[in-house]
Structure formats: structure tokens, C-alpha cells
Amino acid sequence: MSLRYLLDENVEPSYKTQLARRNSEIIMWVVGEPSAPPRGTLDPEIILWCEEYGFVVVTNNRASMPGHLRDHINEGSHVPGIFILGKNLSFGQNLRN
């Protein structure tokens, strides 16, 4: 099973377009799209959704997402992963890294 990614609603949606150009087999959904969590879904619910459906969260939220992840793991749960975009990196640099 290949990795699947969920862009949170604060990540520029063009990441999905650009990554698909680099790898057409990548599975990437965006919060607010059909079958993905709706816009406005709280971070802990996003993490739960990703655990249930096997998605890696892609976010730029350094303020609260790491704490929500810690709480989630401390509760004995898991998540395939969380990728936090580099705040000092350009769009292109984040795509390469």
C-alpha cells in the first residue's frame, strides 16, 4: 500500500498539483474535498481521520498540531505520520525536501 497524504486546509492546494506533476501515482487529498474531512475540522479530528483511513497529515501548523499528535500518541493511538512544511523554505524547497 502506498502512502496517502492529506493536506490540511491551511496548506496551499497547489502543493497537490505540483506533487502530482512529479509523481502521478501519489495519493493526495485536501481537507474540504469530497471524501476528505470538511473545512473547519479540528486538528484532533483530522489526526483521528488520518489514523482511520491511513493518511499522512501535511501541515504548516507548528502551533498546535505537534501537541495534538503528542496527545493522540499518549492515548495509545497512532497515525501514519505528520509532515510539517518548513516555515523558512520556499514552495519549491518544500517540494524537493
Give the count of domains, the chain.
Answer: 1
| pLDDT tens per residue, range 13-65 | 888 888 888 878 889 999 999 999 999 999 999 999 999 999 999 998 888 99
Task: Show the domain range for 17.
Answer: 4-96
3-state secondary structure of 15: helix
The values of phi and psi at residue 90, to 5°, are -75, 170
Question: Over 90: is that where the pLDDT of 95 sits?
Answer: no
Residues with Cβ within 8 Å of residue 59, at least 6 apart in sequence: 7, 8, 10, 11, 65, 82, 83, 84, 85
